[in-house]
Chain A
Amino acid sequence: MLNVSPRRREYETLPGINDLGVPALAPMPAGESEDTRRIIERFGADILAAGLQSGQQVIYTTPERLREVMTFLKKEPQLAYEALIDVTSLDRRDLPMDNGEARFQTIYQLRSYARKQHLTVVCPLESDENPQVPSLASIFKSAIWPEREVLDLMGVNFTDHPDPRRILMPDHWPYHPLRKEVPLGGEEVPFSLTFDDPMFETLGKQVLPANSVSPALPPGMNRQNMILNMGPHHPSTHGVLRLAVELDGETVLNVDPDLGYLHSGFEKTAENKRYKDFVYYTDRMDYLSGMNNNFGYVLTVEKILGLEIPERAQAIRVIMGELQRIASHLFWLSSHVLDISGTGMSLLMYATRERERIMDLFEMVCGARLTVSYIRIGGVWADLPPAFISHLQDFLDVMPGYIDDYEEMLTKGPLWEERLQGIGYISREEAIDMGLTGPMLRGSGVDWDLRRDMPYSGYENYDFDVPVTSEGDCYGRYVIRMEEMRQSLRIIRQAADNLPDGLYKTDNRKVSLPPRAELDVSMEALIHHFKLMTEGFRVPPGMFYHGIEASKGELGFFIYSDGSSKPYRLHIHGPSFNNLYAISMMSRGHMLSDIVTNIGSIDIVLGEVDR
């Protein structure tokens, strides 16, 4: 028999142009803010460092006191960091460290909605062989899935974690892919799943970690609940999501999502791509809102670079971002209606028709419709074509009428409200505790929108409302998204009417390419062109987290730069991933049909959940 077992190969990098000598550590935080001072006052020497880094509040603490610090941050009324947005980790193996410095760090992003503050907590771990850190699951529910992700991809153990399973990679995977010693491809792939594998016995019948809501049975009786395997190939799981559902009749007792079928390792890929080359990858994560992904990534890199973006570019970005939000919401609406009613095919077609107009607009500006890569570091790829504004105006004129039509078709028709009201209820406290973002958060009564509360790209210049409702159910989220489309139109109209003249991308030649004509007359331009095309630009050492309000929630990028032209570590906080965590809690006690309603209401894209 032919031996096809793959062998371990040494991974080679191209020597030469990209060797940059010794990489540098990000600088430690300096200075202080009111919050860091208050934290140091309380914990003293256990706060290893605190202050501002690239304008963001950062504190370093030890694993021993991590839980205490977090509880303090959450409970102390003057701090009130009520939400844990993201958990990630860093392997510093390839960085120039002093002896005895910790190799692994876990990094937490905290948010205070009331005070509009953001805080990064870094926790260097003690052991390099067996890194351990206490789990924050008992303080923030939103830590559960991201911690599983860190465990899976970085191999950091979380003590007292309620559910310490891998989340993206297969259970028997031997590596932790984000560790620096794992090569980018070329490693042996363990195809151990054969028919002799004991896993096959239980595949699709796993005993769920059930917090069942089944009624108490009389003594002596027992009942076996049906385990229904929904997905990964199921019409309504919006991609390759697998749900193991425990059913009592048609009542859902528990839902256990199984992720990772679309795990593409974007974070690992990013470590080997130059900053400017990773823009194209971001399109592929949430493939329904490519512009927003570009936007979030590009802004993060620009923040580390400290780059000034011309106002025209900022306004174009806002127009694109909001158009993309409408397109994404239209797609959400059409698939949501299809999932719920089956017969709502008509609405799917109508909403797709309008989305098509937005796609056409995108095609006008960049030639692509779905994976646009239009927003680039330093500005946008090309200036708006002359006919764009008039086409945009046409769209702006007709769209409000269409949104009213959709609403009328749904809310005036029978059954739509009955199907949504009271389904998938999330209270305000739960929404914050689970770290939900976007319409999920606003649907539960938290008045928070990054565009308004932490403005970026000139959003502070636009006049728009943030719809909030405290209904907390699928109907509330439906109302929010419909209203968001109208508000987006408002923003676009303002941006299009006052579109400033000027450059569409920065003229900083260290970052953006010189125009072709300049190459013929300027030696410097030629050098810049050559350096940018061969090496890319270098980003000063630093660490930065930046979130934008994407259509599905907060899309955050965390970048650790070591001074080279590639990110040393890039972490993506996808809104779908955190929002999907709520599915189990939302669906318990409801009917089987409501699972589908809830998935639609969360609005997930698996490309982003699995990344």
Chain B
Amino acid sequence: MDWLNLLIIPLARSVALILVLLTAFAYLTWFERKLLGRFHVRYGPNRAGPKGLLQPVADAVKAIFKEEFIPDHVDKPIYVLGPALALIPALVIWAVIPIAKNVPAIADVNIGFLWILAVAGVESYGLILAGWSSNNNYSLLGALRSSAQMISYELPMGMFLVSILMLAGSFSLVELLNSGRAWWEWLWLWAMFPLFFICILAETNRSPFDLPETENELVAGYQTEYGGIKFSLFMMAEYINMITTSAIMATLFFGGWRLPFGLLQNVQILGPFVLAFKVILLLFLFVWVRASVGRPRYDQLMGFTWKILLPISIGYMMITSILVVLFK
């Protein structure tokens, strides 16, 4: 057997990817706090290191050295499983995202789209189990909200993905980027991007759709009973999810590793940097929304998916299929 290709290289790639993502997570918190500080007319972290750059390190040290405390009234195995289950899908999705020409992060599976949908579906389990096992009213309400919200928003998101899939004609993300798009395809996709972004916000429980943890109502929602590193795992899951979904959006809507107009297509080494740049721009969008848009009420949130987003997404899919039949 070819151990090298089957096991060693993917393993090495995974480790490298995870290390990159964890570092990115740490500095995403810095990035967000700095940006929010600017939005709020204040400075943001600026004590630890130059420009507060060591703040994430300090936070990590603090979280790790906190007492590992498990309350008495929780369901222990599930309680511990919760944060892990929340984090893993966020990392695993990355396997199929292409980071340079013909180079996926881990593997070029021919079901890239399905992989994204499937793994995103698993994500909500972490939150639900955490809230359920905490045995706390606030956690329970948070978990219920998160399950309802994630399942509801997965529907329109799935519909939009199917539309993109039809345009691409392939399940593989690597293939998607290799085959070019016509100009009307780009415009048609970009018209849908704001709606897709809303779905992503709801999927990642980001503000303004952070209803599962609404601190103003539910104290901290599903993570009320968590502290120390376990709490940090939830934060990690949320932030890595932001990075992951930004990468997906960059790939689907903005050409992933490619520069516009096919510039420098064959310089492999540029790919990851172009992708990273696009991801940072999208992350800025996340933070911007957080600083400026208010949170809807729970029933308004649900009404919005089922009454507005879902019909639009179905309509969009139908029109896309007609366009594909006519022009491709």
Contact = CB atoms under 8 A, between A and B. Distances in A.
B295 A341 contact: yes
B41 A342 contact: no
Nearest to A234: B219
A236 B216 CA distance: 5
A343 B141 contact: no
Interface in B137-157: 137-138, 141
B268 to A, nearest CB: 40
Contacts of B292: 343, 346, 413
A228 interface: yes
Contacts of B172: none
B214 A342 contact: yes
A82 B296 CA distance: 39
A133 to B, nearest CB: 40
Interface stretch (B95-103, B228-236, B297-305): B297-305
B216 A596 contact: yes
Interface string A236-260: 1000000000000010000000000
A418 B138 CA distance: 24
A415 interface: yes
A341 B294 contact: yes
A608 interface: no
A350 B41 contact: yes
B290 interface: yes
Interface in A311-332: none
Given A349-B41, A353-B41, A342 B216 contact: yes
Interface stretch (A293-301, A486-494, A586-594): A586-594
Interface string B290-327: 11111111111000000000000000000000000000
B297 A594 contact: yes
Nearest to A249: B144
B202 to A, nearest CB: 14
A227 B289 CA distance: 34
B89 interface: no
B39 interface: yes
A413 B216 contact: no
Contacts of B141: 228, 250, 592
B208 A343 contact: yes
Interface in B116-146: 137-138, 141
Contacts of B42: 349
A365 interface: no
B142 to A, nearest CB: 11
B219 A345 contact: no
A338 B291 CA distance: 11
Contacts of B36: 345
Contacts of A350: 41
B219 to A, nearest CB: 6
A236 B217 contact: yes
A226 interface: yes
Contacts of A228: 137-138, 141
Nearest to A348: B40
Contact of A344 (B138, B214, B294): B294
A291 to B, nearest CB: 26
A118 interface: no
A167 B199 CA distance: 47
B215 interface: yes
B238 interface: no
B225 interface: no
Given A349-B40, A350-B41, A343 B293 contact: yes
B210 interface: yes
A591 to B, nearest CB: 6
A419 B40 contact: no
B291 A346 contact: yes
B207 interface: yes
Interface string B23-42: 00000000000001001111
A593 to B, nearest CB: 5
B143 to A, nearest CB: 13
A337 interface: yes
A415 B207 contact: no
Interface of A: 226-229, 234-236, 250, 337-346, 348-350, 353, 413-416, 418-419, 591-596
Interface of B: 36, 39-42, 137-138, 141, 207-208, 210, 214-217, 219, 289-300
Given A229-B137, A345-B36, A415-B295, 17 more contacts: A227-B137, A228-B141, A236-B216, A342-B207, A342-B214, A342-B215, A342-B216, A343-B291, A343-B295, A344-B294, A345-B40, A349-B40, A349-B41, A415-B208, A416-B294, A592-B141, A592-B217
21 contacts: A236-B217, A250-B298, A337-B294, A341-B208, A341-B293, A342-B207, A342-B208, A342-B214, A343-B294, A345-B291, A350-B41, A353-B41, A413-B292, A415-B293, A415-B295, A416-B294, A418-B297, A418-B300, A419-B294, A591-B297, A596-B216
Report the 7 A-B pairs with minimum CB-CB distance, sorted nearest first: A341-B294, A349-B40, A236-B216, A342-B295, A341-B295, A343-B207, A593-B297
